[in-house]
């Protein structure tokens, strides 16, 4: 009798606690992505600082920065060698204010490493930071020792020199730090860059592929600023660190002048935690041509593209349907990300081919194992299969060459999050189903990161063709850091 009474009290208290968590958790739901007008800065500008039109938030609108292509210092056409220096710097995002930042070979973000399938690549990664770092090649199929995960720490003043062949097809990949405890902040302060892989197929398609002209990378991030211009990194939220300003390639809501032709955009969701639902302001359609790990078999027509942290998509927008002087916005639902300012008519010889790629689909029967992955919790209380990450524990042993089916789900309950972008290192997989049903056409391609919704079960089929230790984790970087990560070893 007494026990029952005590249970009732405990249940009551728990309900109150969960209620409070629920209230805290709601305002940052996936749908609530609009800018809060109260936190927007209105800088005082001198006459000559008013160089561009200002938007309603009071920021100077800048031209979209285009990351530079990193010079290949190996003259051999079959080899590439790049120098990458992780360094401290400062940036000017808000007029008249200086933001301490981190970058590769510069103040913020990094250059693009362009490589070709079949090439042998060497990268000299130098750590000029005052902290440990590592550089992980997200989406790259390499052996564990070259992966740049938490095992390949680069101490300050050290150089790490991985060397590996590019054995995968054309895709847009990226790189970022992956050390235990500082991944999320190092990325937030600016450490991230893109890798473009080309192959004979991608080069033969006559898609827009003139880098910086009609082939443009878009690194999407959200950031929060203090009054003095410095970044505010706030990870006290249930779903990770969010910002109230949209940035593309390191500029707040920039513009890009585009001629009336087809433009290819290689889009990375480089945010720590925010999902994007990408739309054009006229709700018009565009084509997705690529997923994380390669080109789709055929272009997919879309007017909303969902991208969770870590995911990439290549899209083509045909600006020939607009006329000179028009402005088209790229938005995250209703929030401005950037503006396309339409320029002149242009002869455009590029095409969006009906057939982009040939993908060898795995048959489920080749899978040796069916594995269950349960993602649970939110905030700092997150687990995979009930456990938090332990660097000294191998969670799964996998035979080299194995193909496995992973059934990944978010555990429903009072501590359920809005979902988790689930990523596996060193491989590209295929999505089999979502909640037992069909997947959208734009997910029928090679993936290394897949969003698992709040109550969803997603089945994927994944090959393990490279030896070594690899991480798998939620790509909300605050969840990863809080332990929503596991480790597998291929041997
Ligand atoms: Cu972007 Cu562990 O990865
Ligand atoms: Cu990765
Ligand atoms: Cu997560």
Give the C-alpha separation, 189 to 247, whole Å: 12
CATH 2.60.40.420 residue ranges of the chain are 215-345, 364-490
For 116-163, how does the pLDDT look when each residue is reduced to its tens digit (9 = 90+)?
Answer: 999 999 999 999 999 999 999 999 999 999 999 999 999 999 999 999
Q: Which residues of the chain have pLDDT under 70?
A: 1-59, 413-416
Query: Is any atom of ligand 1 closer than 6 Å to the C-beta of 262?
Result: no
Q: Looking at residue 416, what is its pLDDT?
A: 60
350 CA to middle of ligand 1, Å? 33
Give the C-alpha separation, 237 to 382, whole Å: 13
Q: Looking at residue 46, what is its pLDDT?
A: 29
Q: Looking at residue 22, what is its pLDDT?
A: 36
321 CA to middle of ligand 2, Å? 38
Asked whether the beta carbons of 5 and 11 are under 8 A apart, the reply is: no
Task: Extract the tokens encoding 434.
Answer: 């979502």
Ligand 1 atom with the shortest distance to the CA of 425? 2
Query: Is any atom of ligand 1 closer than 6 Å to the C-beta of 173?
Result: no
Closest CA to 67 of 190, 250, 203, 338: 250
Give percent of the chain above pLDDT 70: 87
Going by alpha carbons, the residue nearest to atom 1 of ligand 1 is: 138
Query: Is any atom of ligand 1 closer than 6 Å to the C-beta of 151?
Result: no
For the domain 215-345, what is the CATH superfamily, name and number? Answer: Cupredoxins -  blue copper proteins (2.60.40.420)
Q: Looking at residue 414, what is its pLDDT?
A: 63
Going by alpha carbons, the residue nearest to atom 3 of ligand 1 is: 138
Asked whether the beta carbons of 43 and 94 are under 8 A apart, the reply is: yes
Query: Is any atom of ligand 1 closer than 6 Å to the C-beta of 423?
Result: yes
476 CA to middle of ligand 3, Å? 5
Neighbours of ion ligand 3 (CB under 5 A): 420, 474, 476, 479
Closest CA to 236 of 204, 272, 193, 190: 272
Using DSSP's 3-state secondary structure scheme, residue 183 falls into: helix
Q: Looking at residue 267, what is its pLDDT?
A: 99
**Residue 326 to residues 203, 214, 383, Cα–Cα distance (Å):** 31, 18, 48
Q: Looking at residue 418, what is its pLDDT?
A: 83
Using DSSP's 3-state secondary structure scheme, residue 43 falls into: coil
Question: Residue 471 pairs with which residues in a beta bridge?
Answer: 487
Query: Is any atom of ligand 1 closer than 6 Å to the C-beta of 425?
Result: yes
Give the C-alpha separation, 340 to 231, whole Å: 27
CATH architecture of 364-490: Sandwich (2.60)
For 358-412, how does the pLDDT look when each residue is reduced to its tens digit (9 = 90+)?
Answer: 999 999 999 999 999 999 988 888 999 999 999 999 999 999 999 999 999 998 7
Closest CA to 169 of 363, 308, 359: 359
**Residue 376 to residues 33, 92, 178, 363, 487, Cα–Cα distance (Å):** 23, 39, 22, 29, 17
């Amino acid at each position: 009798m007494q026990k029952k009474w005590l249970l009732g009290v405990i249940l009551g208290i728990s309900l109150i606690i969960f209620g409070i968590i629920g209230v805290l958790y709601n305002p940052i739901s996936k749908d609530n992505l609009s800018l809060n007008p109260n936190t927007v800065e209105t800088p005082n500008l001198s006459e000559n600082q008013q160089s561009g039109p200002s938007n309603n938030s009071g920021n100077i609108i800048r031209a979209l920065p285009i990351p530079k292509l990193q010079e290949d210092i190996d003259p051999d056409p079959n080899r590439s060698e790049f120098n990458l220096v992780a360094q401290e710097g400062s940036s000017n995002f808000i007029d008249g204010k200086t933001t301490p930042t981190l970058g590769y070979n510069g103040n913020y973000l990094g250059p693009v490493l362009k490589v070709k399938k079949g090439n042998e690549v060497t990268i000299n990664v130098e750590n000029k930071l005052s902290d440990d770092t590592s550089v992980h090649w997200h989406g790259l199929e390499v052996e564990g020792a070259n992966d740049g995960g938490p095992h390949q720490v680069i101490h300050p003043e050290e150089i790490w020199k991985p060397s590996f062949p590019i054995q995968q097809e054309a895709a847009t990949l990226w790189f970022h730090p992956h050390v235990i405890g500082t991944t999320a902040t190092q990325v937030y302060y600016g450490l991230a860059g893109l890798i473009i892989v080309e192959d004979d197929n991608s080069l033969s398609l006559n898609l827009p592929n003139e880098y910086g002209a009609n082939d443009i990378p878009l690194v999407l991030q959200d950031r929060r600023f203090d009054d003095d211009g410095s970044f505010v990194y706030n990870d006290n939220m249930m779903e990770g660190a969010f910002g109230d300003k949209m940035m593309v390639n390191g500029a707040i809501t920039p513009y890009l002048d585009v001629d009336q032709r087809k433009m290819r955009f290689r889009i990375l969701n480089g945010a720590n935690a925010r999902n994007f639902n990408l739309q054009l302001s006229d709700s018009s359609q565009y084509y997705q041509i690529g997923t994380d790990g390669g080109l789709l078999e055929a272009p997919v027509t879309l007017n909303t593209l969902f991208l969770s942290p870590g995911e990439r998509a290549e899209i083509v927008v045909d600006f020939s349907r607009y006329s000179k002087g028009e402005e088209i916005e790229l938005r995250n639902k209703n929030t401005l990300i950037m503006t396309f300012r339409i320029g002149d008519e242009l002869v455009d010889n590029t095409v969006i081919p009906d057939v982009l790629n040939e993908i060898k689909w795995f048959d489920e029967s080749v899978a040796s194992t069916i594995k269950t992955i349960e993602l649970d919790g939110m905030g700092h209380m997150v687990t995979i299969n009930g456990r938090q990450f332990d660097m000294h524990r191998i969670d799964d042993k996998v035979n080299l060459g194995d193909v496995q089916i992973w059934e990944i789900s978010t555990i429903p309950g009072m501590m359920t999050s809005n979902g988790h972008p689930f990523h596996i290192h060193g491989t590209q997989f295929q999505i089999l189903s979502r909640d037992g049903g069909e997947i959208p056409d734009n997910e029928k391609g090679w993936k290394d990161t897949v969003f698992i919704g709040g109550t969803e079960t997603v089945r994927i089929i994944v090959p393990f063709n490279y030896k070594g230790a690899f991480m798998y984790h939620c790509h909300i970087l605050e969840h990863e850091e809080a332990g929503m990560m596991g480790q597998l070893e291929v041997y």
